[in-house]
Structure 1
Amino acid sequence: MTMMTRKLRRSGAPLAALLVASLLAAGPLSAQAQQQQTSSAAPLAGPTAEYKLGAGDVIRITVFQNPDLLLETHVSEGGTLSFPLLGVIRLGGLTVGQAEKLIADGLKNGNFVKSPQVTILVLAVKGNQASVLGQVNRPGRYPIETADMHLTDLLANAGGAITQTGADVMVLTGTRNGQPYRVEVDLPGIFAPGGRANDVLIQNGDVLWVDRAPLVYIYGEVQRPGPMRLERGMTLMQALASGGGLTQRGTERGIRVNRKDAEGKVQSIQPTMDEALKDGDVVYVKESLF
């Protein structure tokens, strides 16, 4: 007990004064204590204002200075929930901002709260889904588990692209602002300096398509003939090296590349070793005559 508290008690001061004196003597809370005092169940981080609520989403609704209206619940399969004073309301398909306005207008128009300030926190996202198709390890439909889920998050849920057959450029389709949406995303470019902005946000109903990687085909006098993945900028020499190199009977002078032109006709060309190959090229290594 501090000296100030003992003096107030001897003088017959009221209890409120004793409490104030004790708080003043205790000093400010430590940073750790303040953090413990203000911490609660952490909501999902990110730009949730434009997130559309769906069936199964767990949300917390608070009305400023009205603790009796605090509600933590989930959106039903029909997109509805029961809110105090308002009864059953439909929030499915509304953004967080629209849902907040709907509840605030209902409380105000019903003369329940004069100037309601409504806040909705998305605690768990379960109602929205996106699909991943094509050359991935686990194609299928996946829930959008966070309000700020990006393309790389969705791809990771599907196990990533298949190493040997998955292309680097992926196509995301869906709907934005009521209009059809389509964007091609270069996956390696996302991880380049300044490329994080290309990691687009995923919304309900989006479909991510991972096409097959470009291929070239090698046959003739090579150690391992057959199709192979065409890496970016791969030259003829690199492709031959990936095929194990030429056999003892193969010759560099007899190499031909069959390539389709813009009209779909096949042309036979004799490229240099440092020339880059294209998707669908067929490399033929002839047998040496000597």
Structure 2
Amino acid sequence: MTALIIAVAACAEKGSGPVLSTGDRYLSGSPAFDDYRLGVGDRIKVTVFNEPTLSGDFGVAADGAISLPLIGNLPATGHTVAEVIAAARARYADGYLRLPKLSGEVSTLRPLFILGEVSSPGSYPYTFGLTAMNAIATARGFTPRANHDIVRIRRQGETEEVNYRLTPELRVYPGDTVHVGERYF
């Protein structure tokens, strides 16, 4: 009877729902950066050719927009950098600049958050191609009570954590919250 109670408690700690070990987070190689969708906390470097006062590093604010000189706010959350640059180019061409030439790139990705049974939980800068194991290592590794088999990950903007089998191929994305649970035996 005691063994059954311990087994049920261990399963409950792992979170509700199935444990995934396949899917887009397990794909080999790096995801394409061209289709990266901006989110709150990202920063993009915008260069307006021959207009240094209009160029700069701009952050995606809590309302999901970036604020550019002269043209004001542009929606950015959920858009690629190319889409934001195209919208900015159209706005600058609408009475501000003749034939505006713009370029843009992501300068800073939104941070990753690590909770639970790691030595230093907190917010960490995201680096492209980061895996869950790398993220845990960044947080100075597991505590002695940590579950080394399963992690729970919540994507930015979602409300539910999803259980994933912890493997070297498990990727995390900017804005993710990685939760390392406790094991009981």
How far apart are 1:157 and its partner, in Å?
A: 2.5
How far apart are 1:167 and its partner, in Å?
A: 1.7
User: Structure 1 length normalisation: TM-score?
Assistant: 0.42
Within the alignment, does 1:112 sit opposite 2:97 as a pair?
yes
Identical pairs, percent: 15
Q: 2:105 aligns with which of 98, 121, 125?
A: 121
Q: Distance in 2 between matches of 1:98 and 1:183?
A: 33
Flag structure 1 segments of 5+ consecutive residues without an equivalent. 1-45, 191-197, 216-290
Within the alignment, does 1:67 sit opposite 2:69 as a pair?
no
Do the aligned partners of 1:60 and 1:72 also contact (CA within 8 Å) in 2? yes
Relative to structure 1, the CA distance from residue 177 to residue 213 in structure 2 (aligned partners, 3 Å threshold; closer, same or farther) is closer
State the structure with bigger RCO (CA 8 A, min sep 6), 1 or 2: 2
Relative to structure 1, the CA distance from residue 177 to residue 166 in structure 2 (aligned partners, 3 Å threshold; closer, same or farther) is closer
How far apart are 1:184 and its partner, in Å?
A: 0.5
Whichever residue aligns with residue 184 of structure 1, its letter is Y
Relative to structure 1, the CA distance from residue 90 to residue 183 in structure 2 (aligned partners, 3 Å threshold; closer, same or farther) is farther
Q: Distance in 2 between matches of 1:76 and 1:177?
A: 15
Deviations 1:10-42 (A, max 9, x none): xxxxxxxxxxxxxxxxxxxxxxxxxxxxxxxxx
Flag structure 2 segments of 5+ consecutive residues without an equivalent. 1-31
Whichever residue aligns with residue 153 of structure 1, its letter is N
Q: Distance in 2 between matches of 1:213 and 1:179?
A: 24
Deviations 1:50-95 (A, max 9, x none): 142434x5432134xx332661223275553333x42x22455344
Match for residue 166 of structure 2? 186
Do the aligned partners of 1:151 and 1:200 also contact (CA within 8 Å) in 2? yes
Q: How does 1:261-276 map to 2 (within 5 A)?
A: none
How far apart are 1:110 and its partner, in Å?
A: 4.2
Do the aligned partners of 2:121 and 2:139 also contact (CA within 8 Å) in 1? yes
Deviations 1:113-155 (A, max 9, x none): 44x5643122234xx3333222111123x14333544323322
Within the alignment, does 1:210 sit opposite 2:180 as a pair?
yes
Relative to structure 1, the CA distance from residue 122 to residue 202 in structure 2 (aligned partners, 3 Å threshold; closer, same or farther) is same
The CA RMSD over aligned residues, in Å, is: 3.4
Relative to structure 1, the CA distance from residue 92 to residue 111 in structure 2 (aligned partners, 3 Å threshold; closer, same or farther) is closer
User: Structure 2 length normalisation: TM-score?
Assistant: 0.60
Secondary structure of the 2:77 match is coil
Do the aligned partners of 2:38 and 2:78 also contact (CA within 8 Å) in 1? yes
Q: Distance in 2 between matches of 1:134 and 1:165?
A: 10
Tell me how many residue pairs correspond in the alignment: 150
Q: Distance in 1 between matches of 2:58 and 2:178?
A: 28
Relative to structure 1, the CA distance from residue 50 to residue 81 in structure 2 (aligned partners, 3 Å threshold; closer, same or farther) is same
Match for residue 82 of structure 2? 97
Q: 2:120 aligns with which of 138, 150, 161?
A: 138
